[in-house]
Amino acid sequence: MSHALHRHGTAQQLQNDYTFYARTSRFVNREGCGPKLRKILRILLEEKGLVNFGSSHAGKSYKAGLDPDDYAATLDNAYGVAACFSDREAIRSILKKLREADTGISIVISGLIDEIVGIARELDLKPHTAFLSLGIHGKKALLPTDQVLQITTMCGHGMVSAKLSRTVIEKVKAGKMTPEAGAHLLAQPCPCGIFNTERCSAILEVGLEKSILPGPDGPGGPASP
Amino acid sequence: MNCIAQKGDAVEIDQDECVECGVCLRAGVCPTDAIAMPVESTQYPRAIRAQFSDPGVQHPSTNQGGRGTEEMKTNDVTGRIRRGEYGMALEFGRPGTGARMTDLEKVLKLLVTMDVELEKNNAVFAFLDEPLTGGVKPEFRNEKVLSAILEFKIPEHRLEHVVRQLLPVLADLDTVVSWGLVSRFAENGALPVRTKLQALGVPARPNAKINMGLGRPVVEP
């Protein structure tokens, strides 16, 4: 599914937000994929810029207490390995190592198109296919504000609610919670580990700089497409 | 979903609005441990709510979790979307509003008249009328899910026609739709479809999901 697509925000707000997905194909290379996925996981774990990882089949993310060894044990015949990063150089380093490892597992990176294509050029990789986001259509009056959407869309399965996001924004603003603690709390419902807590902390800090009241959703007015 | 609300001294879950995503249950935050999943949640027609809302629940029709397919994630080894084609994905109810299955019907009834190739491996397909009319089977029409995806493929030259047909129908929905388009990169690494989309008034956002071409064996380099 498209769970790493449609992360909300402007190009500036989406800088340094990368998701990684090593994905097996059901009828091509899933059978016996465990050793390859564990090799990929080891490459990810070695990288300093790793923020979070996990999967729905493991049931929880690293930020919700998933132990890397327990995760590795779930990877036989698994869909794949998901993770997120806040550092362009980390993505570059991982892609370089994966090209050398030549596991044959499909690798998908989400982030700013021009950044990812730029990394590919630097490494002489040929990106194969893009999944573009054409934005949100329909009854947009139902949506929360841009700030809340930036948080909730980091879980593409929609497990992070707007209501919880607003509660955390208000607690951070009131000084009852740090941005880091708020981001950690908000990451709990997202099992795939692509909820980027570093980006979330930054979003919550922006909420401190701009008044988030009045209104149930805080600043920014209605969400833009 | 805003389906949990305080009523007097009690907190109630609005069963009609609840999509069975399981988040409240897994959070373990109820002080009296009163949140439970009723037996109806696992029985049809209501069972489809969890199948389309809880990523830990598999669809019996596909034996896969999640709401979509492998789509472009494995396109380097499956060749599902080739040069000269575009894939499209309309995810109803995303982000965060949820959708009734009737919301899908409004677009499906258009798509079946438009000579598009619907993705039959998507779990949505198991709940559609047979033969395909664009309708959802009656027993599932009013079920609410966190999101459901219509995936289809079009020839490249049909892009303008499909976009112009879809836009007014999407604008008239009672829910939101996150719209995605899959395109192969050109030989020179460019994505010409971005220019076409800009001209059609549906510009691609600056962020995307990119298959890096590291899968093996590559079906179509």
pLDDT at B113: 94
Segment B205-213 shows an average pLDDT of 98
- CB-nearest partner of B95 from A6, A129, A131: A6
- What SS3 class is residue A162? helix
Where residue A219 falls among pLDDT bands split at 50, 70, 90? very low
Residue B93 scores a pLDDT above 70: yes
Domain ranges of chain A: 18-123, 140-209
B141 to chain A, minimum CA–CA distance in Å?
Answer: 19
pLDDT at A68: 97
Residue B19 lies in a domain: yes
Q: Are residues B127 and B180 in the same domain?
A: yes
CA distance B155 to B86: 6
Residue A215 scores a pLDDT above 60: no
Residue A147 scores a pLDDT above 60: yes
pLDDT at B200: 98
- Count how many pairs of residues, chain A against chain B, have C-beta atoms within 8 Å: 269
Secondary-structure breakdown of chain B: helix, strand, coil percentages, each rounded to the nearest 5 = 30, 20, 50
Q: Are residues B127 and B75 in the same domain?
A: yes
pLDDT at A220: 34
Residue B4 lies in a domain: no
Q: Are residues B103 and B182 in the same domain?
A: yes
Q: Do A137 and B170 touch (CB under 8 A)?
A: yes
pLDDT tens for A18-50 read 999 999 998 899 999 999 999 999 999 999 999
Q: Are residues B47 and B75 in the same domain?
A: no
pLDDT at A207: 66
Residue A221 scores a pLDDT above 50: no
Residue B108 lies in a domain: yes
Question: Does B157 contact chain A (CB < 8 Å)?
Answer: no
> Beta partners for A131?
B182, B209
Segment A130-147 shows an average pLDDT of 98
pLDDT tens for B112-155 read 999 899 999 899 999 999 999 999 999 999 999 999 999 999 99
**What is the extent of the structural domain holding B26?**
12-53
B127 to chain A, minimum CA–CA distance in Å?
Answer: 18
Which chain A residues contact residue B27 at CB under 8 A?
188-189
Q: Are residues B82 and B191 in the same domain?
A: yes
The beta strands (E) that lie in chain A are given as 18-23, 50-54, 80-85, 106-112, 129-138
pLDDT at A209: 62
CA distance B21 to B55: 8
Segment A4-8 shows an average pLDDT of 95
pLDDT tens for A148-158 read 999 999 999 99
Nearest chain B residue to A28, by CA: B77
Phi, psi of A193 (to 5 degrees): 75, 20
Check residue A177 and give left, alpha or beta (phi > 0: left; psi -120 to 50: alpha): beta
pLDDT at B137: 96
pLDDT at A15: 95
Residue B61 lies in a domain: no
A166 to chain B, minimum CA–CA distance in Å?
Answer: 13
Residue A212 scores a pLDDT above 50: no
Instruction: Give me the CATH number covering residue B122.
Output: 3.30.70.260
Share of chain B above pLDDT 90, in %: 83
Q: Are residues B165 and B85 in the same domain?
A: yes
Residue A169 scores a pLDDT above 70: yes
Q: Are residues B99 and B184 in the same domain?
A: yes
Segment A179-201 shows an average pLDDT of 97
State the best of B170, B183, B207, B220 to mutate against chain A, taking most chain A CBs within 10 Å: B207
pLDDT at A109: 98
**What ipTM describes this predicted complex?**
0.96
Residue A218 scores a pLDDT above 70: no
Domain count, chain B: 2
- For CA atoms A138, A139, A141, A146, the dihedral sign is negative
Q: Are residues B133 and B177 in the same domain?
A: yes
Residue B208 lies in a domain: no
CA distance A86 to A7: 14
Share of chain A above pLDDT 90, in %: 86
CA distance B67 to B26: 20
Q: Are residues B102 and B192 in the same domain?
A: yes
Q: Are strands A18-23 and B85-92 parallel, antiparallel or unpaired?
A: unpaired
Segment A159-185 shows an average pLDDT of 97
Question: Does B57 contact chain A (CB < 8 Å)?
Answer: no
Q: Do B96 and A162 touch (CB under 8 A)?
A: yes
Where residue A206 falls among pLDDT bands split at 50, 70, 90? confident
pLDDT at B208: 98
State the best of B25, B178, B209 to mutate against chain A, taking most chain A CBs within 10 Å: B209
In contact, B19 and B92? CB cutoff 8 Å: no
Higher pLDDT pick, B121 / A110: A110
pLDDT at A225: 43
- CB-nearest partner of B177 from A110, A114, A137: A137
Q: Are residues B38 and B112 in the same domain?
A: no
pLDDT at A210: 54
Q: Are residues B106 and B185 in the same domain?
A: yes
Q: Do A134 and B193 touch (CB under 8 A)?
A: no
pLDDT tens for A50-84 read 999 998 888 899 999 999 999 999 999 899 999 99
Which chain B residues contact residue A168 at CB under 8 A?
none
Residue B60 lies in a domain: no
CA distance A42 to A50: 11
CA distance B151 to B91: 9
Residue B125 lies in a domain: yes
Where residue B91 falls among pLDDT bands split at 50, 70, 90? very high
Q: Do A23 and B94 touch (CB under 8 A)?
A: no
Residue B153 lies in a domain: yes
Residue A223 scores a pLDDT above 80: no
Arithmetic mean of pLDDT over chain A = 91
